[in-house]
Amino acid sequence: AVGFFDVVRVSLQYLIDQMDPDGPVQQNRVVNDMAPLLEAKMDLIIPDLLFTPDMEEIAPDSDIPEDSAEGVVGAWIKAFMDTATLMKRLDDPECDYMTALLQNGTLATLKARVISLARESVGRCRNYRDTVYMPYATLYREDREAYMERFLVYGPPPELDDLDESDSEADLEMEPKEPTLDDFDAEISKYRKVAQDVSNLPSFVSFTWVRLDLRQVKQKMLVVINQWADMFIEHLTDDVRLKLSE
């Protein structure tokens, strides 16, 4: 059993070394641009930002989905442990060494450490999504046509900074106000700036052993943002054509 124990111990320690954000391997990965253990992607599937493999938080008492990032790590651990089934015990040919490995306290501690580090990095991926990309959620969740209808009647919505905390809902009812060309220009400039901000976001980010590929989500976000700007440009173009035809 000692040989199987050493195989599993070394394999689990390898994962720990790769996943530990404060370990020497991580420092070398940054300096030498080492390949990650897992390549993951984030994509915009309206109305959600989704990861592949899945990285959503898993309830403590729930089974870990096989197609999740934690499930991938679990499969690695299982593969290490399954080496104990390759040979029958010499003292009992009907059994293998799996039971002995499962009961080993050292391996149990190492497995718990691997799972903890995996969840830490997965949580950092979710936090990146929530802090960097979720602030743009209204762009792909709000109805553009409904927004334009309100804009044409009431003009641009007030900025949050312009609202007083004492304003009641009744006070915020807006008076009809036809938008000016400056209002249209401000809207178009706003979305062009947002598009530039998204373009400047990194296409890849790494969290120790995980590297997130963000190229697809950036591309889809830019398509959505440009649709907002184009909506205002097309309205002005159509308005000019209509006036010229009169």
pLDDT along the chain (246 residues), means of 10: 86 94 74 80 96 92 90 96 80 75 93 96 97 96 94 82 43 76 95 97 94 97 97 89 70
Q: What CA–CA distances, in Å, run from 66 to 2, 41, 43, 124, 241? A: 30, 17, 19, 20, 57
| Lookup result for tokens 């199987």 | 4
Paired residues of 41 in beta bridges? 52, 213
d(CA 84, CA 60): 28
Give me the numbers of helices (H) and strands (E) for the chain, helices first please: 9, 4
pLDDT reported for residue 149: 94
Which of 121, 55, 40, 109 lies closest to 77, judged by CA? Answer: 109
pLDDT reported for residue 164: 46
pLDDT reported for residue 246: 62
d(CA 246, CA 166): 47
pLDDT reported for residue 175: 82
